[in-house]
Amino acid sequence: MDNIPTREEFDRLRKDLDALTEEMYKNNFSASQDFNKKSSFTTSLKVPSYDQLPQTCLVGQIAESRGVLKICSAANTWISV
């Protein structure tokens, strides 16, 4: 029974949960996520498909155009992979 939170711990956790819930409903979370280690996907990865690639891109961005997988290798520079 030593793992029962104190009233102060419970109140702090409730406050943190309320703040996170409020942020979620405000849609304030960033849509980007950085990984500094190898990542594996256990499901399929949806790559955007374009008839014409966008004029601008960020390094590392991937897309498919006319059956060819492309990656942005430098700002606004698409190359085939």
SS3 label, residue 40: coil
pLDDT in tens, 36-62: 788 777 888 889 999 999 999 999 999
In the chain, domain spans: 7-31+43-80
DSSP code at position 4: P
Please answer whether residues 63 and 80 qualify as being in contact, where contact means their C-beta atoms are separated by less than 8 angstroms.
Answer: no
Mean of the per-residue pLDDT values of the chain: 86
SS3 label, residue 68: strand
| pLDDT beyond 60 at 73 | yes
pTM for this structure? Answer: 0.49
> Can you tell me which residue has the tokens 């991937």?
62
